Structure 1
Amino acid sequence: MRVIEHLVKTLRDSAIFNSEVQVAPSCILWPDKDRQWEAVIPRLQSELAEMLVLGDYAPENRVGPAIWLRCVIAGKALDVNLPADRVPVFYLPGVSRQDLRAIEDCPDLLKPLAELQYRGVIWSQANAKDWTIMAFLKSDQGGMGLDVAQDKEAKNAMQLALYRLLDEELELLKGKRLDKDYFNTLLTGGDPVRDLLQWLNLGDAFQATRGVNEWKAFVEVCKSQLAFDPQADGVLAGASKLALREGPWHSVWDRYSEAPKRYPNISNRIRQCKPPIFDLFATVESAGGWPQWNQDQEKSLQHDLLTLKHLPAHDARKRVLELDKTHAPRRDLVWADLGESSLALATKQLAVVADVTKTALAAGSISDLQAGYSNQGWRADDAMLAALARVERASDIDAVTTAIRAIYLPWLEESARYLQKIVEGSSYPGGTIASAKPFSASKGECVLFVDGLRFDAARRLTAVLEVHGYEVAEAVNWTALPSVTATGKAAVSPVRSKISGTDDCDDFEPCVAATGQSLKGGYHLKKLLSDNHWKVLDRTENGDGQGNAWCEFGDLDSEGHARGWKLAKHIDLLLAEIAERISALLAEGWSSVRVVTDHGWLLMPGKLPAIPMSKDLTDNKWGRCASIKPGASTSERLYPWFWNPHQQFALADGVSCYGKSVDYNHGGLSLQECLVLDLVVTQGAHISGHPVAEVTDIAWKDSMRCTVAVDGRYANLALDIRMHAGDAETSVVVNIKPFKDNGTASVVVENQDLRGREAFLVLLNASGEVVAEATTVIGGG
């Protein structure tokens, strides 16, 4: 029950009478000499249709003089209709019970009401005194029996906050100390920390949006709870205290950290303040509130990364791991959310590169290389791209590029040369068309060809699909040589057994075995598929789920050639589009989607190494492969063509390119170019009604902060709390938060009025879809 509901009930109950010895009262008189209740009477009139007010004649507001009130209860006032089943309530501002009792001395304007004290009842305390606000709140005889402070400041704050107090739940007030801080907080909307942050963000504009009473209450709350006077001290003094994060300001900082983008001006206000002098031993705890310190740390990290070019690879890797440990705490500060800690974030990925590349892929057999790369090695490629995606400024890009070339390039070169050495002494595991297994497709399977889906990119695609609830089966394969689209696309097609290579081919393009027609341009490949009962779908066509189909979508290779190292910044978007394409195909009824690719690629910011190749020796030269002229003498390693082992070509040593040096290339022999994943995607757990992840623990602490732990596939999931699980508009959290690596996430509910309400915890995938949910009570309980 709300306070206003209790007040209404108490007023109406005062008219209860014993019908055996009494007649029904004609009205309820509510005297209020000090006009304490006057400000909330319009609100009470909305709850009490039978309430009228003594005052100047305004019948539309149910207000009028004493003689008019007499006419109302006599049924003679045609401009007012009162509920027939209710006793009229007359609120008498500026009038005391004693004024009515002293009839001889009663002012003429009140005399028409004087006799009503005998025909009606007076709403008053048990001791016959008028109900003051304080008395009604404290008294357990007809009041609410609450614990209310009685000092002058509490009384003043109580009077100002009465309007908001009416809507408070009575049960939540019991056992709570109602003092000036409580009433001031109530008047400012129940969340002084939020108001303080808005003031720091808006400055003078904040006061302009508040009424006089609300601003006064806000100042009093700050003085009481934070020992800070906004009016006297000013915004910059507040910004400085926020950055220092001392005492009660630590909770203000925590709230700011939850959603710093909601307060875009605060960081600049802190920059206007003079920070303390930080020594070499300053930490996140002592200095992390100052963007100036964070900026200095970024500059220091930038310098340290640039110096890696002078170190041997093993020392550079050790140094990167040290730098990551030093700067890791900065990744949890607001400056990272605001885009001011790019190098600290990139260094987390560089540390993965450093850790993985400590183990060389330059020992053992082909099987050992495959296992080493499939289990761990691909993570270096993936983390290298992630590091590049984190940085924007040219100086930061230079620093990350330097680190990548110091710790990643030597490992890349070493593993490529070792693979080339093994293949030279035995045979390439990708074989030739003669050794290729027949293509086998299950009923209702659609084959989706993606150009340039490197191993690590395929792993990212798997993660995206699994978050959406699909099941993904991975199979490791070696591409056809050379690792270019002309050779590789046909090699993964369902009609590869009907394709061959001519002895005089110099562009790595095979042909239709039966007719000798080149597959260049794609027409004859599509015709061959159609002739062999494969439906060929265009980029936007989903088919009908019947038989088998071939389609092509997603071209990471073209993006790589066009963008160079900046492919790293766009690859997640490209993979998301591929995932959407797969989802559309499965939704159309295909039993599975098999994702195949032609080759991987090498990417190196600052350009891959280049080696010369004489034009006189080659018929055709691509990035990392070249067709040697018949009869030409060369010291280059020669490899058999997948489509015709009698036709040989040269591959560049290590990770070098023939001719012009570029950031992105392929066509050679390396794990990154030649070891790929085939994916078979089917409707999975989420689609069949089982959650991708499951909530295992819910803990409310620090008032309105909720920490949730989950089990399952929680990578790329985020946590929200909603009043209705399926409606994003009913979210009640300050900021939706992603789950950390340990499977936990923490969110804050700002609105204190929601405490005790039941709500839904929802887990969201990368597309904002709800993949799991659980119920909770806001604030705990």
Structure 2
Amino acid sequence: MKLIDQLIRTIQNAAIVNPEIEASPACVLWPDKEGHWAGAIPRLQSELGELLVLGDYAPESRVGPAIWLRCVIAGKAPDVILPPDRVPVFYLPGVSRQDLRAIGECPDLLKPLAELQYRGVIWSQANAKDWTLMAFLKSDQGGMGLDVAQDNDAKNAMQLALYRLLDEELELLKGKRLDKDYFNTLLTGGDPVRDLLQWLDLGDAFQATRGANEWQAFVEVCNSRLAFNPQADGLLAGASKLAMHEGPWTSVWERYSEAPKRYPQIPSRIRQCKPPDLGIFDTPAEKLNGWPQWNDEQEKSLQRDLLVLSELPSHEARKRVIELEKAHALRRDLVWAELGDSPLAMAIKHLAVMAEVTKTSLAAGTVSDLQAGYAKQGWRADDAVLSALACVERAADVEAVTVATRAIYLSWLEESARYLQKLVDGAIYPGGRIAEAPAFYRVDGQCVLFVDGLRFDAARRLSTVLETSGCQVVESVNWTALPSVTATGKAAVSPVRSMIKGTDDCDDFEPCVAATGQSLKGGYHLKKLLNDNHWKVLDRTESGDGQGNAWCEFGDIDGEGHTRGWKLAKHLDSLLAEISERISALLAAGWSSVRVVTDHGWLLMPGKLPTIQMSKDLTDNKWGRCASIKPGASSGERLYPWFWNPSQQFALADGVGCYGKSVDYNHGGLSLQECLTLDLVVTQSGSASGKQLAEVTDIAWKGLRCTVGVDGQYANLSLDIRTQAGDPSSSVVVSVKPLKDNGTASVVVENEELQGRKAFLVLLSASGELVAEANTVIGGA
């Protein structure tokens, strides 16, 4: 933990009270008569959204006079928005605790704050004195308990080095004698590249936190190492040199690229500079990738190229998308992608997968051939569409991805659906009827988890997440009951399906209890049937005891799809992460396995699915892509037998069309996406093969940069370096990095003092769980 983190925690803790005997304070008052803390305030304000400063009115900097601070507390200052769950902190430079207490003598401009000492709390020492920097570092009662020299030279050097001191690790400060030599070393012997990036980011605020000697030392280091004078040349000249990253600036750019989010103002600085003419370079991607303006132009160009795909036949559109992926792939490794400024460069990767997969038509052979082709490759097109949509946010980018998807994916989707419908017409649907359905195979100690709308590709994603977390997963392909709606499909995958039937007059696809005729609508009678047949029914938060068998429902992907439409793509991974956590909790409770089942899949098409009109006079009920036909009504629609009662027939929309309102998301019809699903049987790691999922095989240090290679199942893993493998707070890298598709990743240790120290390379799952570790020495052995 850094000193600044502990300082923030201490300040915030001042507002903690016992709610049973005290009201929450209106604010935390931070008096600082001598201005000891002034140099830390700009940095603290970037970390503490609730920190405001007494001073001249400058609301954009969260600075203002006493009466304005009172308005903030009262919620009457529209020019400032504070975190709703935090108590405001008022830093009062030039003001002491005694000034506030002497109400009659304090200046008029300070009097509006006087009564806040009673409604708020004062951040002060245990002896009620104001916190000075020296007292905070030395005191072991609310402070840091560090060994700090108290001579004037040490105090002056400490004050000058405050901004650096804030970033020091507490663990490294303990046991050291903090004297003038330490502070001066900290002041002048730090990391010049980091200083330069901070100056480019903070501008004048950086210089304001340095003493004259320190600033001059910084200027001299830049002169000697980079032939650049920050004081004479200025911010924009530095930003331009960073963007060009030639010669000695290459290392500066590499450091910036490792953690660009730490320097949020640098892109805007570069945008203020004029980039070189694109035409003067043979390889602009290599020479201009440091310029966000160039990346913006590349994004606009890609956007235009995607929009014109609507004018091309599908096969030409596929070819063009694959060409565009080759042209823009390199931009995904640039800082602009990490900063979220390259959404289409990210999306084109997935659009290219969609284009490659849809080159192969599924409309050939038997139903078994369709099943095999979709289970092997076809599902990847559906997954790629969702991944591409998840990359974009702005309306223009969404439109570009939508046009590309419709130009390539829609015809492929339509073709495979019509072919499947043709094969099933007049034949037996592979999902069968209840009469042919096999008995539910009961496994002792198994919990059946029902997930509404777990489409095939979503199930594959879930399987990967589970395997990455250390679980063993066995997949089996199934066909849903027809029609592919929850009312029919949920009961069909339940352990008590043999005790359920369909009536002759049902028009809502909802079966009933065979013995009593009671409808399963609402879920009560399904749960009762499960309980009566020795299946424990767990609610969303129960995990049971692992004994016997259980049924649990969790995760409503279908509901999210109907509500969000195409934006389901942006939330699917978080939904699957919650389902994975639920499965882990069930396994931890003692269940030998968790069997994941679902009722149906779905179709998703940005820009809306086609519509099919059907007269209301012909139907009793319409559900998206299926409709029950009125007795005696004559319709040209294909009719299919109901899973629960074959004498009851219903219509399914042709192709991928929908009855009635046009929407992005729907189901209920006959297509591979709606009807072919995956059952997952999940067990704890080690209960099957015991094979290690991921292993660090290569470790290479170049200075303080470490590059690793990983074998095994490394998808969705990230790399960190820690001094204690199991403690995330002991991380020593600038930022944790995800493993690339080839199983490699590179991270940088920022603190040069750690060179030669033993540490752990750790691989982390998407949820932050430690998957694997390896020993290393920082900087190389």
Matches within 5 A, 1:643-658: 643-658=644-659
The structural deviation recorded for 1:425 is 4.7
Give CA deviations for 1:260-309 in whole Å, capped at 9, x if unaligned.
Answer: 00000000000011111112955221111111111111111111111000
CA distance 1:497–1:200, change in 2 (3 Å): same
Inter-partner Cα distance in structure 2 for 1:700 and 1:362: 52
> Does the CA-based 8 Å contact 1:691-1:771 persist in structure 2?
no
The alignment's TM-score, normalised by the length of structure 2, stands at: 0.75
The structural deviation recorded for 1:619 is 1.2
CA distance 1:715–1:733, change in 2 (3 Å): same
Identity %: 79
Larger radius of gyration between Structure 1 and Structure 2: 1
> Does the CA-based 8 Å contact 1:312-1:406 persist in structure 2?
yes
Matches within 5 A, 1:152-231: 188-231=188-231
Inter-partner Cα distance in structure 1 for 2:741 and 2:388: 17
The structural deviation recorded for 1:185 is 9.6
Whether 1:268 aligns to 2:268 is yes
Inter-partner Cα distance in structure 1 for 2:689 and 2:582: 20
Inter-partner Cα distance in structure 1 for 2:290 and 2:232: 23
**3-state SS, counterpart of residue 456 of structure 1:** helix
| Counterpart for residue 315 of structure 2 | 314
> Does the CA-based 8 Å contact 1:608-1:655 persist in structure 2?
yes
Give CA deviations for 1:345-365 in whole Å, capped at 9, x if unaligned.
Answer: 011111111111111111111
| Counterpart for residue 447 of structure 1 | 448
Code of the aligned partner of 1:542: S
The structural deviation recorded for 1:204 is 1.7
> Does the CA-based 8 Å contact 2:604-2:666 persist in structure 1?
yes
Matches within 5 A, 1:430-509: 430-509=431-510
> Does the CA-based 8 Å contact 2:278-2:284 persist in structure 1?
no
CA distance 1:611–1:663, change in 2 (3 Å): same
Give CA deviations for 1:484-504 in whole Å, capped at 9, x if unaligned.
Answer: 000000000000001111111
| Counterpart for residue 55 of structure 2 | none
| Counterpart for residue 711 of structure 1 | 711
Code of the aligned partner of 1:740: K
Whether 1:582 aligns to 2:557 is no
Matches within 5 A, 1:261-660: 261-279=261-279, 283-660=284-661
> Does the CA-based 8 Å contact 1:316-1:407 persist in structure 2?
yes
Code of the aligned partner of 2:440: F
Gap regions ≥5 residues in structure 2: 1-159, 165-183
| Counterpart for residue 722 of structure 1 | 722
> Does the CA-based 8 Å contact 1:686-1:692 persist in structure 2?
no
Whether 1:662 aligns to 2:663 is yes
Inter-partner Cα distance in structure 2 for 1:250 and 1:394: 36
Inter-partner Cα distance in structure 1 for 2:737 and 2:499: 52
Inter-partner Cα distance in structure 1 for 2:353 and 2:428: 32
Inter-partner Cα distance in structure 1 for 2:525 and 2:723: 57
**3-state SS, counterpart of residue 392 of structure 1:** coil
Comparing 489-498 and 575-584, the one that deviates more: 575-584
Count of aligned pairs between the two proteins:
601
The structural deviation recorded for 1:690 is 6.7
**3-state SS, counterpart of residue 715 of structure 1:** coil
How large is the RMSD of aligned CA atoms in angstroms? Answer: 1.9
Inter-partner Cα distance in structure 2 for 1:283 and 1:412: 39
The structural deviation recorded for 1:215 is 2.2
Inter-partner Cα distance in structure 2 for 1:688 and 1:282: 50
The structural deviation recorded for 1:668 is 0.2
Matches within 5 A, 1:56-135: none
The structural deviation recorded for 1:647 is 1.0
> Does the CA-based 8 Å contact 1:620-1:627 persist in structure 2?
yes
Inter-partner Cα distance in structure 1 for 2:298 and 2:687: 44
Inter-partner Cα distance in structure 1 for 2:261 and 2:701: 24
> Does the CA-based 8 Å contact 2:472-2:688 persist in structure 1?
no
Inter-partner Cα distance in structure 2 for 1:532 and 1:287: 69
Inter-partner Cα distance in structure 1 for 2:289 and 2:493: 53
CA distance 1:188–1:690, change in 2 (3 Å): farther
Runs ≥4 residues deviating over 3 A: 184-190, 685-691
The structural deviation recorded for 1:226 is 0.9
> Does the CA-based 8 Å contact 1:685-1:692 persist in structure 2?
no
> Does the CA-based 8 Å contact 1:468-1:686 persist in structure 2?
no
> Does the CA-based 8 Å contact 1:483-1:666 persist in structure 2?
yes
CA distance 1:395–1:588, change in 2 (3 Å): same
Inter-partner Cα distance in structure 2 for 1:370 and 1:319: 29
The structural deviation recorded for 1:452 is 0.3
CA distance 1:670–1:687, change in 2 (3 Å): closer
Code of the aligned partner of 2:486: T
Gap regions ≥5 residues in structure 1: 1-159, 165-183
**3-state SS, counterpart of residue 435 of structure 2:** coil
Whether 1:740 aligns to 2:740 is yes
> Does the CA-based 8 Å contact 1:499-1:511 persist in structure 2?
yes
> Does the CA-based 8 Å contact 1:625-1:667 persist in structure 2?
yes
| Counterpart for residue 700 of structure 1 | 701
Inter-partner Cα distance in structure 1 for 2:341 and 2:389: 15
Inter-partner Cα distance in structure 1 for 2:416 and 2:575: 28
Inter-partner Cα distance in structure 2 for 1:189 and 1:530: 71
The structural deviation recorded for 1:685 is 3.9
**3-state SS, counterpart of residue 760 of structure 2:** strand
Inter-partner Cα distance in structure 2 for 1:346 and 1:185: 47
Code of the aligned partner of 1:675: L
> Does the CA-based 8 Å contact 1:185-1:192 persist in structure 2?
no
The structural deviation recorded for 1:208 is 2.3
**3-state SS, counterpart of residue 408 of structure 1:** helix
CA distance 1:719–1:427, change in 2 (3 Å): same
The structural deviation recorded for 1:744 is 0.6
The structural deviation recorded for 1:203 is 1.1
Inter-partner Cα distance in structure 1 for 2:671 and 2:321: 25
The structural deviation recorded for 1:190 is 3.6
Inter-partner Cα distance in structure 2 for 1:332 and 1:761: 22
Matches within 5 A, 1:672-711: 672-685=673-686, 691-701=692-702, 703-711=703-711
| Counterpart for residue 234 of structure 1 | 234
Give CA deviations for 1:324-374 in whole Å, capped at 9, x if unaligned.
Answer: 111111111111111110111011111111111111111111111111111
The structural deviation recorded for 1:721 is 0.4
Inter-partner Cα distance in structure 1 for 2:438 and 2:513: 18
> Does the CA-based 8 Å contact 1:608-1:657 persist in structure 2?
yes
Code of the aligned partner of 1:512: V
Code of the aligned partner of 2:482: L
The structural deviation recorded for 1:517 is 1.2
> Does the CA-based 8 Å contact 1:190-1:751 persist in structure 2?
no
> Does the CA-based 8 Å contact 1:419-1:669 persist in structure 2?
yes
Code of the aligned partner of 1:564: G
Inter-partner Cα distance in structure 1 for 2:332 and 2:739: 15
Inter-partner Cα distance in structure 2 for 1:213 and 1:498: 86
CA distance 1:382–1:262, change in 2 (3 Å): same
The alignment's TM-score, normalised by the length of structure 1, stands at: 0.75
The structural deviation recorded for 1:466 is 1.1
Give CA deviations for 1:600-633 in whole Å, capped at 9, x if unaligned.
Answer: 0000111000011111111111100011111111
Inter-partner Cα distance in structure 2 for 1:662 and 1:590: 40
> Does the CA-based 8 Å contact 1:476-1:675 persist in structure 2?
yes
> Does the CA-based 8 Å contact 2:626-2:651 persist in structure 1?
yes
| Counterpart for residue 149 of structure 2 | none
| Counterpart for residue 766 of structure 2 | 766
| Counterpart for residue 66 of structure 1 | none
